[in-house]
Amino acid sequence: MENQMEKQEVVIEAKNLGVFFKAGQQEDYKSRMMDLLSKKTKEKADADFWPIRDLNFQAYQGEILGIIGSNGSGKTTLCKMLTGILRPDSGELTVDGKVSSLFSLGMGFKKELTGRENVYLNGMMLGQHRRKIDDYIETIKEFSDLNEFFERPMKYYSSGMKARLGFSVASHLEPEILILDEALNTGDRAFGQKAAEKMQDLVKKAKMVIIVTHSLRYAKRNCDRLIWLEKGEIKGVGKPAEVIKEYKKTVPRRDRKSAKVELEKITTTVGNESVIKAENMGISFKINKEEFWALRNITVDIKEGQVVGIIGHNGAGKSTLCKVLTNILSPDEGTLVMNGETTSLLSYGAGFNEQLSGMDNIYLNGMLLGIPKQKIDEKYQEIVDFSELNQHIDKAVKKYSSGMKARLGFSIAAMLKPDIFIIDEALSTGDMAFKQKASEKIQEIMGQSKAVLIVTHSMSVATKMCNRVIWMEKGQIMYDGDPEEAVVKYRARVDELRATKE
Residue 139: the pLDDT is 93
Q: 357, 31 in Cβ contact below 8 A?
A: yes
Q: 90, 51 in Cβ contact below 8 A?
A: no
Query: Would you give the end-to-end CA distance of the chain in angstroms?
Result: 35
Average confidence (pLDDT) over 400-413? 79
Q: Please give the residue that has the higher pLDDT: either 436 or 42.
A: 436
Q: Please give the residue that has the higher pLDDT: either 227 or 132.
A: 227
Q: What is the pLDDT of residues 152-165, one digit of tens each?
A: 888 888 777 888 88
Return the number of other C-beta atoms located less than 10 Å from residue 123's C-beta: 23
- 469 pLDDT band, cuts 50/70/90, is very high
The SS3 call for residue 93 is: strand
Residue 262: the pLDDT is 44
Q: 451, 305 in Cβ contact below 8 A?
A: yes
Q: What is the mean pLDDT of the chain?
A: 80
The SS3 call for residue 448 is: helix
- 102 pLDDT band, cuts 50/70/90, is low
Residue 40: the pLDDT is 46
Q: For residues 404-432, b (16+ Cβ closer than 10 Å) or e, as one string? A: bbbbbbbbbbbbbbbbbbbbbbbbbbbbb
Assess whether pLDDT exceeds 90 at residue 105: no
Q: 287, 156 in Cβ contact below 8 A?
A: yes
Return the closest-CA partner of residue 311 out of 151, 487, 178, 450. Answer: 487
Measured CA to CA, the distance from residue 128 to residue 144 in angstroms comes to: 19
The DSSP bridge partners found for residue 21 are: 49
Beta strands 307-311 and 468-473 are parallel
Assess whether pLDDT exceeds 70 at residue 428: no
Q: 208, 60 in Cβ contact below 8 A?
A: yes
Backbone φ, ψ for residue 161 (5° rounding): -70, -40
Q: Please give the residue that has the higher pLDDT: either 24 or 298.
A: 298
Q: In what order do the strands lie in the sheet with 451-455?
A: 342-346, 420-424, 451-455, 307-311, 468-473, 476-481
- 456 pLDDT band, cuts 50/70/90, is confident
- Domains of the chain with bracketed CATH: 2-16+55-249 (3.40.50.300), 261-501 (3.40.50.300)
Identify the top-confidence range among 278-282, 403-407, 426-430.
278-282
Q: What is the pLDDT of residues 189-218, one digit of tens each?
A: 677 778 888 888 888 877 898 988 888 888
Least confident of 213-222, 324-333, 416-425, 463-472: 416-425
Assess whether pLDDT exceeds 90 at residue 17: yes
Q: Is the pTM of this model over 0.85?
A: no
Measured CA to CA, the distance from residue 488 to residue 214 in angstroms comes to: 26
Residue 145: the pLDDT is 86
Assess whether pLDDT exceeds 80 at residue 269: no
Q: Please give the residue that has the higher pLDDT: either 210 or 44.
A: 210
Residue 479: the pLDDT is 96
- 34 pLDDT band, cuts 50/70/90, is very low
Average confidence (pLDDT) over 335-357? 71
